[in-house]
Amino acid sequence: MTVTPPIRRHSRTGLYVPLFIALAVLAGWTGWWFYLTHRIETGIEARTVEMRAAGWDIGHGRITTTGWPFRTRIAIAYPTVTAPDGHAIAAPALVAEANTYNPDKWVIVAPDGLVLTRPNMGKVAVRGDALRMSLSHLRASFPDLRIQLDQPVFTPHPGAAPFPILRADQLQIVARPHMVDGPAGTAGTATTGAVDVLFRLTEARARPGGVLDGLAVQGPVGGWIETTIDGADHQRGRTMIGDLRAWAGAGGRFTAVRGELKAGVSTATLSSDTLTAGPDGRLRGSVALTADKPLPALAGLARSGVSGVDRAAAAGAATATALTGDTSAVSLPLVFRDGRTWLGPFALAPAPKLF
């Protein structure tokens, strides 16, 4: 007689355990996502209240949050931010996005362009292939800020003052805490109160009749400048101008200034150990320039009809440069003093004004 052994049924618990774990992780992650987005939305509203109390005018339309599960995407309709001194920025929409697992780094995009308001000068529209800004290390005393405009076009509104450039291939601004080299084999550390800044402009076209157009003789302009802003922690004004005035009054200065400029066929490298701002807000100090083919730029400046430019002084500087007999490479000491920009004995134009 054959005995049939009982059929053993295997437990299916092992099949469900991974599913239960996955569901638990998903529920926890979803809870974190909603908590994070709620915290961000309340943070935006709280910051808006603080800025309004300080004299800023803040407005916006609907705020929507999407991106679950791995992204946090905040879309703000019709944001406007107006500083007490009249500087303002507005856009049809701003979109900010970050990884949900790393909310300390954000990328902000203006998909439909921006409108900048300049006090007493009017508005200028900015459009381009990409207008983006990134912010990271938000818990540090100074965050890492990067602005990049790809193929930007600048169009003043009717009745507004002209903008220095019409368009460019790219415009970049980078600001980050100044780093001091650590011991050999160790990473650098951020200093207190100093910020490294880089400005880069690539293949720009100046507005006709402007200073840049005169220097470039209707050619392209561009270049880069980098510096360290010492005393940046003294910027405690309520406005941009107030910040700069407070910084200058507390002994703030630009150090390790380096750069390269291009105007048409003329190019120049520049360096300065220290530049400061006077009580009138204009730069003070000296810059060492090594210029290649400076004569066309000086001659173009002399022919320009821009107010503030001393055409006779520019013509004199061009003549003096030509008389050196070497118009290919010339060392030109550029000095900012008494509110003017001096090239040797020639006062070409007002010194750059910060505030």
pLDDT (tens digit, 9 = 90+) per residue, 51-65? 888 888 999 899 898
Higher pLDDT, 69 or 126: 126
Helices (H), strands (E): how many in the chain?
5, 22
pLDDT band at 184 (very low <50, low <70, confident <90, very high): very low
Strands (E), 143-187: 144-150, 153-156, 165-167, 170-180
Identity at 148, one-letter amino acid code:
Q
- Least confident span in 130-139, 147-156, 316-325: 316-325
pTM of the model: 0.80
Which of the 8 DSSP states describes residue 355?
Answer: -
As a whole number of angstroms, the distance between CA 327 and CA 89 comes to 44
- Least confident span in 107-116, 231-240, 277-286, 318-327: 318-327
Q: Per-residue pLDDT for 185 more than 50?
A: no
Q: Per-residue pLDDT for 322 more than 70?
A: no
- Interacting residues of 326 by C-beta distance below 8 A, sequence separation 6+: none
Q: What is the mean pLDDT of residues 197-220?
A: 85
Q: How many residues does the chain have?
A: 355
DSSP bridge pairs for 226? 198, 258
- At 10-26, the pLDDT tens digits run 555 556 667 777 777 77
Q: Is 82 exposed, middle or buried (0-12, 13-18, 19+ CB in 10 A)?
A: middle
Q: Using alpha carbons, select from 182, 275, 264, 165 the residue that is nearest to residue 225.
A: 275
Give the CA distances from residue 42 to residues 2, 37, 250, 279, in Å, rounded to whole numbers and listed in that order: 76, 9, 35, 41
H or E, element range at 192: strand 189-206
Largest CA distance in the chain: 125
